[in-house]
Amino acid sequence: MIFTLIISCLALLTALGSIGWQIYSWRRNGPKVEVSAHLGFVTGPGGQNFIAIEATNSGRLETMVQSFYFQLPEGRTLQPTGSYIKTTVLPARLSPGDQVSYYFNPNDIDQQLASAGLTRSDLQPAVRTGHGKVLGKKMPG
């Protein structure tokens, strides 16, 4: 009697472990895109300041980045035209483990923010992918 109870408990634990693993695998399946923004400077003759939005895929499947933009308060968006430093052509493939960056002119962004009465601390980097919209953390002021 006790032996069958022990076997039953082991079978139950094995089944629960299997279900847990299936849930974990299912949640990890697909792309997992993380978005961040930072300030930078290109060195050399005629060096340029820039604001970059980076999208990194730590998931198992690739996705396509359709656009890079900034989310503003009240659901508004700021999408400067074109990449400031011509390196990324959209749509861009984002394979597992890859990173794609898009660069913006900080002077253009500051002018648009000033006309709206906002600051850089109101900017939240975002990307639109083939799997939906992904927001990053707000930029420091």
Give yes or no: residues 70 and 126 share one domain. Answer: yes
Instruction: State the Rg of the chain over Cα.
Output: 22
| Residue range 102-140, pLDDT digits in tens | 999 898 899 999 999 999 999 999 999 999 999 999 988
For the segment 13-37, the average pLDDT, to the nearest whole number, is 91
Which range has the worst mean pLDDT, 22-36, 40-54, 61-75, 122-136?
40-54
For the segment 76-105, the average pLDDT, to the nearest whole number, is 87
Give yes or no: residues 24 and 35 share one domain. Answer: no
In a domain, 140, yes or no: no
Please give the tally of structural domains in the chain.
Answer: 2
Q: How far is CA 134 from the centre of its chain?
A: 5
Which helix (H) or strand (E) covers residue 13, if one does? helix 2-28
In a domain, 62, yes or no: yes
Q: Tell me, what CATH number does 82's domain have? A: 2.60.40
Which band of pLDDT confidence, cut at 50, 70 and 90, is reported for residue 13? Answer: very high
